[in-house]
Amino acid sequence: MNIWQKKNQSGTKIHFFYDLGRGKGQRPTTGVWMWTHPKNQEQKNFNKEAARILEVKKSQATIEQQAIGTPVIPAHKFKPNFIDYYEEYITLNKRDGNRHLSCCLSRLKKFIKSEYLVATTITENFCKRFRRYLLDNLTGETPANYFARFKWVIDAATEDGYFHKNPAEKIAAIGNPSTQLKEILEAEDYLKLLRTPYQNQQVKLAFLFCCYTALRWVDVKLLKWKDITDGVLTTRIIQKKTGRPVLITLHPIALSLLEYARKLAGEMQPADHVFDLPTANGANKDVQDWVTGAGVKKKIRWSCARLSFSILLQDQRVDDATVAYLMGHATTKQVQRNYKRHRPKNQEAVIALLPNASLQQ
């Protein structure tokens, strides 16, 4: 392995490159440089350390060249801390609107209670225990989504030689359906909330905006003025087929909420966030307090806004495909499974639809 060197423009430093040929891109940098003429002991010591690092890099590059065409993967290609590998995977596979990869990593760190994880400890039993941890702490499809992303990383690591056999291959990603049905806001509840003032106007405006757009808490928390143009909201959700974000034409009420929010914002710049919100827990407490004050006797959390959006549109005979698109789903599967009305709005009215006649003795 040859090392090529070149002085910088001023001639004060020497930069070193791998010499793989004369073609474009065949002289990648080693990331190492030295002082051309060291002026003091500190610079001399720097050059000595740089020379040692350069020798190590040259040796590693030589081993890599020799391993080409063989099943051998040089040991230095592996990251000692598997968390570093995971973080690199997220960086290389990041996609706007997809938070499952990074959220799963956060859960993995909580599971191991550490920032360091050796790949050899990731066995089939480890994967099963991590799945159990997700199921014990999360509900709905979230455990399945997180574990599926974890399996993506393990699959990639297996291909990269971290595992001789994929430890997660036989373990399915499964969900954890909630035993409690979420409350939904009916059309009359929307009107009550619109008419009821609340001390935290930011929470009121943001929650109502979610009711009219199906945005999640994290989406509205991060929403910026630049995401809204000519009455159209550009979401952070990316369509799989086109690779473009989902665009939502805003309801007149949603537009009026934005107008009011802009008055509250005052002199904020267009790049600033639309709503100034507290923590998720704090916002949920505010929402429940406001809902109760409006005379709506239901247990409402922020996620109920998204569910209500879906059900009220379906009540108006909007097809599942359209609802799924507006909610950012690639298929109707989630709408049919999780965003349907699971109990009648008015049970007496439904029962009254049955045939009615006097009983003949």
CA distances from 361 to 77, 356, 358 (A): 88, 16, 9
Task: Please tell me the pTM assigned to this model.
Answer: 0.57
The arithmetic mean of pLDDT across residues 219-224, rounded, is 92
3-state SS, residue 58: helix
Comparing 34-48, 121-135, 322-336, the range with the smallest average pLDDT is: 322-336
The pLDDT value given to residue 110 = 96
Residue for token pair 């979610």: 210
Confidence check: pLDDT of 360 > 80 = no
Which structure tokens are listed for 171?
A: 């373990």
DSSP string, 211-238: HHH---HHHHHH-BGGGEETTEEEEEEE
pLDDT tens digit string along 325-355? 888 877 888 788 778 887 666 667 667 777 8
Angle between the N-to-C axes of helices 201-213 and 280-293, in degrees from 0 to 180, rounded to the nearest 10: 90
The pLDDT value given to residue 359 = 66
Q: Are 223 and 97 in contact (CB under 8 A)?
A: no
Percent of the chain with pLDDT over 90: 60
Query: Counting beta carbons within 10 angstroms of the beta carbon of residue 283, is it exposed (0 to 12), middle (13 to 18) or buried (19 or more)?
Result: buried
Neighbours of 145 (CB within 10 A): 20
* Interacting residues of 49 by C-beta distance below 8 A, sequence separation 6+: none
Residue for token pair 């040859």: 2
CA distances from 196 to 190, 204, 296 (A): 10, 9, 11
Residue bearing the bigger pLDDT, 331 or 109: 109
Terminal-residue alpha carbon distance, the chain: 103
The pLDDT value given to residue 357 = 67
Which structure tokens are listed for 347?
A: 């049970």
Angle between the N-to-C axes of helices 187-195 and 303-315, in degrees from 0 to 180, rounded to the nearest 10: 130
Residue bearing the bigger pLDDT, 336 or 49: 49
The pLDDT value given to residue 300 = 94
Sign of the CA dihedral running 212, 214, 217, 218: negative
CA distances from 20 to 23, 55, 123, 139, 204 (A): 8, 16, 39, 52, 62
pLDDT tens digit string along 268-292? 555 589 999 999 999 999 999 999 9
Percent of the chain with pLDDT over 70: 88
DSSP string, 265-292: HTT--TTSBS-----HHHHHHHHHHHHH
The pLDDT value given to residue 259 = 92
Element spanning 5, H or E: strand 2-7
pLDDT tens digit string along 174-219? 987 655 578 899 999 999 999 999 999 999 999 999 999 999 998 9
The pLDDT value given to residue 77 = 73
* Interacting residues of 254 by C-beta distance below 8 A, sequence separation 6+: 209, 212, 213, 233
The pLDDT value given to residue 245 = 75
Q: Are 4 and 18 in contact (CB under 8 A)?
A: yes
pLDDT tens digit string along 55-108? 999 998 888 777 677 666 676 778 899 999 999 999 988 765 567 899 999 999
Comparing 2-6, 246-250, 346-350, the range with the smallest average pLDDT is: 346-350
Which structure tokens are listed for 262?
A: 């802009």
The arithmetic mean of pLDDT across residues 131-135, rounded, is 95
pLDDT tens digit string along 7-18? 999 999 999 999
Q: Label the pairing between strands 228-229 and 2-7.
A: unpaired
